[in-house]
Each structure stands twice: as C-alpha cells, then as structure tokens.
C-alpha cells in the first residue's frame, strides 16, 4: 500500500490536531502574522508522525539516502521518524553560542548521501546551515524534506520535498494592525535555542 498523502489530507491532519493557530504571531523572520502552524501538535502523536514520515520517505526514497540530518529543535522528531521509515541512521545539529554544529559525537561518513529534514521551511536558513555542515564533514547533501513549505525564496539550492505548501500572509511589525489594536504577541519559534 502506498504511504503517499495529498496536500488536502496533510492539511486535514494538521487541522484535526489543532496545529493551525490563529492569533498574533512573530515569525522567525521577525515579521508578524495572524496564522501559525504549530507542528508540535501533530508530532506529539506518534501514529500521526509515523504516517507523515512514511509519506515524506516515499517522496525521497528514489534518492538513495544513507543518512538523515535535522536541525534542532523543530526537525528532530520528524527527522527521526523519516530516518526510521527509510531504515537509515539519524543525527541532528544544534547551536553552540549561535553556531550550528554536530555535537554528541555525531558524524557524517565521507560520501554519505544525506537528506536534511525540517518541520517548517520558510527561508530555510537553518537548513542551509545544516547543508554547509554536511558538506564540511565530507557528506553529500541530496535533498530537503519538510512537513510544510511556507513559500518564498530559499537560502539553499537543493530540491525541497514538502508534504504541504502553505503560504501564510505576514507583514512588517510597523504595518501590523494587530499591534495597533494591542493584541498580545506570541513568538512560538525556536530559533533562539
């Protein structure tokens, strides 16, 4: 049986898990928005995570992946699940004084074909840092897989396989009607970790 999911099915899964939030949010870019997708609400359900990961793994299975690498924190759970679906090893990178590194003894075997996995990709800044780390270690970054592509230009040049393309309107803080109306602002991202 195919593990493939349509974008409609993925959106339905996100909505059923209450992962699509409305309110007043500061995105990682610094822009403000009235909509935010909290992937953690899906990733708290192992069965749902396994299903989404199988769909992602199917998209990239022809790419001959040897290793999955993900940036902490957002990419860890879905990255592990995709690695499990592909039957390959999983490592993650994290920031040390602001610099992305592989710690904990994680390594990339020379020549390994690496899939980078992230929960949500907007500009892909963290993903680009992981790609650079993998190259530096002698690995071969092959593709990027994400649960959601929020649209817009990317900071990396590898093919991106998202389960769902979800363009959410955002604007600069000084043009924000929600700020003008003094609606409390939330910063749900994890870039500062």
Residues near Zn ion, by CB under 5 A: 32, 176, 178-179
Q: Considering beta carbons, is residue 109 or 186 the nearer one to Zn ion?
A: 186
Q: Considering beta carbons, is residue 23 or 125 the nearer one to Zn ion?
A: 23
The greatest distance separating any two alpha carbons of the chain, rounded to the nearest whole angstrom, comes to: 54
What's the closest the beta carbon of residue 183 comes to Zn ion, in angstroms?
7
* Residue 50 exposure: Cα atoms within 13 Å on the Cβ side: 5
What's the closest the beta carbon of residue 140 comes to Zn ion, in angstroms?
41
What's the closest the beta carbon of residue 149 comes to Zn ion, in angstroms?
23
What's the closest the beta carbon of residue 189 comes to Zn ion, in angstroms?
15
3-state secondary structure 75-142: CHHHHHHHHHHHCCEEEEEEEECCEEEECCCCCCCCCCEEEEEEEEECCCHHHHHHHHHHHHCCCEEE
**Which residue of this chain has its Cβ atom nearest to Zn ion in the complex?**
176
Separation of alpha carbons 107 and 139, rounded Å: 10
What's the closest the beta carbon of residue 176 comes to Zn ion, in angstroms?
3
Separation of alpha carbons 130 and 116, rounded Å: 7
Phi then psi for residue 190, to 5 deg, are -125, 15
The verdict on whether omega for the bond into residue 141 sits within 30 degrees of 0, i.e. cis, is no
Separation of alpha carbons 122 and 169, rounded Å: 12
Q: Considering beta carbons, is residue 21 or 88 the nearer one to Zn ion?
A: 21
Q: Considering beta carbons, is residue 17 or 183 the nearer one to Zn ion?
A: 183
Separation of alpha carbons 156 and 74, rounded Å: 18
Q: Considering beta carbons, is residue 61 or 187 the nearer one to Zn ion?
A: 187
Q: Considering beta carbons, is residue 72 or 179 the nearer one to Zn ion?
A: 179
Separation of alpha carbons 37 and 58, rounded Å: 23
What's the closest the beta carbon of residue 174 comes to Zn ion, in angstroms?
9
């Amino acid at each position: 049986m195919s593990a493939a999911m349509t974008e409609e099915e993925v959106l339905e899964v996100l909505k059923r898990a209450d992962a699509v939030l409305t309110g007043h949010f500061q995105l990682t870019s610094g822009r403000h928005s009235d909509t935010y997708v909290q992937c953690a609400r899906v990733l708290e359900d192992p069965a749902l995570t396994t299903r989404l990961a199988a769909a992602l793994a199917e998209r990239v299975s022809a790419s001959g992946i040897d290793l999955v690498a993900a940036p902490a924190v957002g990419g860890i759970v879905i990255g592990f699940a995709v690695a499990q679906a592909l039957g390959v090893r999983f490592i993650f990178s994290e920031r040390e004084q602001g610099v992305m590194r592989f710690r904990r003894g994680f390594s990339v075997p020379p020549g390994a074909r690496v899939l980078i996995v992230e929960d949500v990709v907007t500009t892909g800044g963290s993903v680009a840092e992981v790609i650079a780390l993998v190259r530096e270690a002698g690995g071969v970054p092959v593709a990027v897989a994400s649960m959601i592509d929020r649209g817009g230009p990317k900071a990396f040049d590898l093919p991106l396989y998202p389960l769902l393309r979800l363009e959410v309107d955002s604007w600069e803080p000084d043009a924000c009607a929600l700020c003008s109306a003094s609606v409390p602002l939330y910063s749900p991202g994890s870039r500062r970790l």
